[in-house]
């Protein structure tokens, strides 16, 4: 006992821990050393023993047998080496969800990326001439055929495409934009800010809701680098409005010798109405209407990998490709490996809804999703227990990523509500439990309901979803 009567701490408790070298020499540690390497294993083991020592000093009961400590080491190594990028079930109802990676690639593109990862590729090597080539040439022919453009170039996303276009053609000169098109999209990407970064001088014309041809004509002059139109992808202005179309703007642009550039955003390559979807202006229609340059994304309605595509007049594309920023913004072989097979799918437009993952999800029949909802209802209800009620219910999906923001697609899924009288935030708790599953389930909460839209849950994934419900039931218990 201490002089004041307090209990003396047992300073020998930490000595119950085996030494580092003893644990490393244990046969059960050999698989860990083989998988994670000696240096990482030793460092992690020391951290495990230090934590165990602190717990023992605090009076906590702890199994200090070598097998128990090596089990802790195994768990710590697996956790620290686990990928932070994991597959999820997207049940939000937004098909092209920016936070969940946008477009899913078809199998042809996935296999092409695997090959590009395994082998050297003729990325910038012309196999016919044996000399250095241009990586854009790998997909230029397909894109020219699909868009009607004279030339194309590829960068890492559409924001980069807009920045590069403005810097290459508009630095130090005026770029005219309607006030109604000075948009901000996700991640605080604002057209005025991009103009400044690109070195272009912004000339706003018209008003927020109404812009006329005469507004462009008044300011289009010798110091005008381009007339820029921006697709208002994330919102829609209705009511007393007026927008000058590319076709209306083209005669003025030709008369003044000023190119028209259009930031089309999603940039579909086919008429979506053909597949029963709302109309979205295509890249070909935009070029045919008089646009000299069009920028658009590869990972939205096109259904390919993340990239930005600039298509249009050959002389303007050539000037853009000479800009030093082009090298900084260029895409890798993996992007081009994925993009090429996706573009090839467009050569058979009648088969596109079956083969292009994005279009297949967007055109999925509501009846198919309803049947899936009814099949999953009972197992999910059993897993959640009496604290929740689950119902198969109609709901509305959206395309996402700024495409057709006011249009909704009829869908079906599962609506989960908490039983009356349950304290706290039961839906929030359930949402966190769903996100903690081995393959996280991401839904959305609205109107006191957790909605699980099944548009993006296809039949091959159904068994994976069902197998997880046992863990959900365990967490509920």
Task: Please report the pLDDT score of residue 400 as a whole number.
Answer: 82
Q: How far apart are CA 395 and CA 452, in angstroms?
A: 9
What stretches of 82-186 show up as alpha helix (H) in DSSP? 107-118, 137-147, 158-170
Q: How far apart are CA 243 and CA 355, in angstroms?
A: 36
Q: How far apart are CA 148 and CA 152, in angstroms?
A: 10
Per-domain boundaries in the chain: 13-81, 89-96+362-476, 107-355
Structure tokens at 464: 């994976």
Check: CATH 3.40.640.10 for 107-355? Answer: yes
Query: pLDDT tens digits, the chain, 477 residues: what are they?
Result: 444 554 444 444 445 799 999 999 999 999 999 999 999 999 999 999 999 999 999 889 999 999 999 999 999 999 999 999 999 999 999 999 999 999 999 999 999 999 999 999 999 999 999 999 999 999 999 999 999 999 999 999 999 999 999 999 999 999 999 998 888 776 667 888 999 999 999 999 988 889 899 999 999 999 999 999 998 766 677 778 788 999 999 999 999 999 999 999 888 999 999 999 988 999 999 999 999 999 999 999 999 999 999 999 999 999 999 999 999 999 999 999 999 999 999 999 999 999 999 999 999 999 999 999 999 999 999 999 999 999 999 999 999 866 655 568 999 999 999 998 777 899 999 999 999 999 999 999 999 999 999 999 998 899 999 999 988 876 665
Question: If we measure between CA atoms, which residue out of 210, 194, 403, 169 comes closest to residue 292?
Answer: 169
Task: Please report the pLDDT score of residue 15 as a whole number.
Answer: 54
Going along 172-223, which residue ranges are E strands? 174-178, 184-185, 189-190, 201-205
Task: Please report the pLDDT score of residue 251 as a whole number.
Answer: 96
Instruction: Please check whether residue 209 is in contact with residue 180, taking contact to mean a CB–CB distance below 8 angstroms.
Output: yes
CATH architecture of 89-96+362-476: Alpha-Beta Complex (3.90)
Task: Please report the pLDDT score of residue 10 as a whole number.
Answer: 45
Q: How far apart are the first and last CA of the chain?
A: 45
Within the chain, how many helices (H) and strands (E) appear?
19, 17
Q: How far apart are CA 423 and CA 416, in angstroms?
A: 16
In this structure, how many other beta carbons lie within 10 angstroms of the beta carbon of residue 19? 9
pLDDT tens column, 339-398:
999 999 999 999 999 999 999 999 999 999 999 999 999 999 999 999 999 999 999 999
Beta-ladder partners of 418? 388
Question: If we measure between CA atoms, which residue out of 405, 149, 154 comes closest to residue 261?
Answer: 149
């Amino acid at each position: 006992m201490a002089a004041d009567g307090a209990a003396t701490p047992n300073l020998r408790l930490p000595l119950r821990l085996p030494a580092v070298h003893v644990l490393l020499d244990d046969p059960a540690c050999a698989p860990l050393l083989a998988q994670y390497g000696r240096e990482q294993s030793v460092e992690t083991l020391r951290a495990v023993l230090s934590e165990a020592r602190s717990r023992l000093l605090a009076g906590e009961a702890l199994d200090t047998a070598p097998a128990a400590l090596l089990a802790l080491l195994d768990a710590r190594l697996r956790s620290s080496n686990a990928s932070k990028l994991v597959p999820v079930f997207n049940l939000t109802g937004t098909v092209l969800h920016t936070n969940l990676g946008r477009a899913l690639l078809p199998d042809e593109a996935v296999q092409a990326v695997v090959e590009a990862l395994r082998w050297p590729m003729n990325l910038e090597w012309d196999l016919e001439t044996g000399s250095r080539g241009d990586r854009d040439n790998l997909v230029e022919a397909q894109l020219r055929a699909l868009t009607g453009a004279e030339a194309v170039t590829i960068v890492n996303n559409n924001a980069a495409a807009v920045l590069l276009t403005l810097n290459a053609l508009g630095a130090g000169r005026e770029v005219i934009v309607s006030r109604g098109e000075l948009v901000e999209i996700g991640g605080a990407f604002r057209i005025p800010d991009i103009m400044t970064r690109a070195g272009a001088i912004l000339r706003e014309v018209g008003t927020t809701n109404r812009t006329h041809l005469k507004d462009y004509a008044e300011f289009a002059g010798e110091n005008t680098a381009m007339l820029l139109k921006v697709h208002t992808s994330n919102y829609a202005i209705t009511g007393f409005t007026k927008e000058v179309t590319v076709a209306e703007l083209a005669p003025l642009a030709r008369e003044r010798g000023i190119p028209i550039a259009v930031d089309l955003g999603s940039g579909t390559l086919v008429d979506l109405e053909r597949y029963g979807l709302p109309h979205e202006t295509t890249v070909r229609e935009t070029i045919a209407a008089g646009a000299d340059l069009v920028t658009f994304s590869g990972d939205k309605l096109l259904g390919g990998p993340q990239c930005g595509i600039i298509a249009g007049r050959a002389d303007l594309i050539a000037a853009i490709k000479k800009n030093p920023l082009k090298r900084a913004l260029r895409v890798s072989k993996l992007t081009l490996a994925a993009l090429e097979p996706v573009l090839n799918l467009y050569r058979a437009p009648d088969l596109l809804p079956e083969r292009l993952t994005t279009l297949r999800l967007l055109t999925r029949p509501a009846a198919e999703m309803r049947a899936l909802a009814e099949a999953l209802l009972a197992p999910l209800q059993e897993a959640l227990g009496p604290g929740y009620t689950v119902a198969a219910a109609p709901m509305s999906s959206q395309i996402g990523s700024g495409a057709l923001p006011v249009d909704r697609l009829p869908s079906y899924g599962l609506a989960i509500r908490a039983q009356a009288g349950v304290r706290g935030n039961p839906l929030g708790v359930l949402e966190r439990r769903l996100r903690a599953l081995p393959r996280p389930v991401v839904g959305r909460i609205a109107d006191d309901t957790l909605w699980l839209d099944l548009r993006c849950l296809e039949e091959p994934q159904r068994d994976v979803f069902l197998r997880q419900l046992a863990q959900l039931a365990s967490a509920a218990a």
